[in-house]
Amino acid sequence: MVKKAFLKGCSFAITLLVIIMALNSIFIIKSNHREKLLQGIYGNTEDQLDVVLLGSSHMNSGISPNILWNQYGITSFNYATGGQPIDVTYYILKDVIKYHKNPIVVVDLYYLGLTDEYGAEGYVRNVLDNVKFSFNKLDAIINCTPRNQWLNYIFPIFKYHDRWKELTKNDFEFDPTNAYYEKGFDAGIVEYGKENTSDTLATGTVDLLPKPEEYLNKIIALSKKEGFKLIFTSTPHDYNSTATSDHWETEPAKMFNKVAEISKNNNIPFINYNKMTDELGFDFKTDMFNTGHLNISGSRKVSSSLGGFLKENYTITDHRTDTEFKKWESDYQRYLKAQQTLIDNEENKSK
């Protein structure tokens, strides 16, 4: 009798869990971040990636996989998401390398400057709501979110249950394949129109805060353990954009100088594009979307520069003539058409 009741209880619990997990998927907010992570990590696992790109929105709008493909025949995917703290980046990376073995990993380190213990909830949810449940995700929830939010991250239905009034057909039939041709990249076409007000060539260093330094070292240790090559970057931005923030490193130029020291000590390239604007032919007024993010023009310059660095320093096969990679070329052509549509729409607005 007791055994039968126990089995019934287990059956009920499993059924309830299955229902909750299905509801999680329906009620989670559908965003471009959900598209890119579901498809980029789990959906196209047969794609051979030479390079994976990680970080916050600075990387999201910084390096275009389609430019790397068109100019160098490099296959890559941009897993960056808006406001992605460095601890969350570490856990995304662990998921990515489960499915894509030994790529060159490029991490933008803008978010080392965050001084809060945890990233903003909305930014953290950009990732944790949109990756599959696993022990790695559970570990990320425990280490990257406050304890009082753990249950809502494990079961997002508790967070989003009020959305039942606004659910649409897309919530029930969400298709993450729609934007795969962009390979995770997203940048605007508007020109910022202002100069960089910060001193990008400042000397001296400051120590990293304990948690960002811990996760930077975790990423380095993971690369050594798993055997993948690692590159750190910082895309062009105005350091003064965070000057009045109570949540940010007050001397970011010196922080990146410290990163350069750490990278050198670990034989990891660190490419600080803020110190390469002349070499890139980079014009802050026309190549930035705003004070912190590149536009299409700027991303093309930085992407081209990174591709040249990769070709010069690593053995990477040019896949452009390989028929097995013909989908990459068709995706590039679709990407070009989408970019032209954006440009045309912007021009029409200004008329």
Phi/psi class of residue 155: alpha, beta or left (left: φ > 0; alpha: ψ in -120 to 50)? Answer: beta
d(CA 191, CA 206): 32
Mean pLDDT of the 184-212 span: 94
Element (H, E) at 106: strand 104-108
d(CA 118, CA 58): 19
The DSSP letter of residue 191 is: -
Amino acid, single-letter form, for residue 71: Q
Topology given in CATH for the domain delimited by 50-120+166-350? Rossmann fold (3.40.50)
CA-based max dimension of the chain: 79
d(CA 207, CA 216): 13
* 16, pLDDT greater than 60: no
In which band, very low, low, confident or very high, does the pLDDT at 266 lie, cut at 50, 70 and 90? Answer: very high
State the virtual CA torsion across 129, 135, 138, 142 in degrees, nearest 10. -140
pLDDT digit string, tens, across residues 45-70: 888 899 999 999 999 999 999 999 99
Neighbours of 330 (CB within 10 A): 10
Mean pLDDT of the 322-346 span: 89
Of 348, 349, 108, residue with least CA distance to 235:
108
List of residues 6+ apart from 318 with CB closer than 8 A: 72, 73, 74
CA angle 98, 101, 105 (to 5 degrees): 95
More confident residue, 154 or 176: 154
CA angle 289, 293, 297 (to 5 degrees): 55
Of 221, 198, 219, 189, residue with least CA distance to 287:
189
| CA distance to 4, 6, 7, 24, 229, per residue, from 11 (Å) | 11, 9, 6, 20, 46
* 347, pLDDT greater than 80: no
In which band, very low, low, confident or very high, does the pLDDT at 177 lie, cut at 50, 70 and 90? Answer: confident
pLDDT digit string, tens, across residues 216-256: 999 999 999 999 999 999 999 999 999 889 999 999 999 99
Match 């989408």 to its residue by tokens: 338
What was the pLDDT predicted at 53?
Answer: 98
CA angle 144, 145, 150 (to 5 degrees): 125
pTM of the model: 0.92
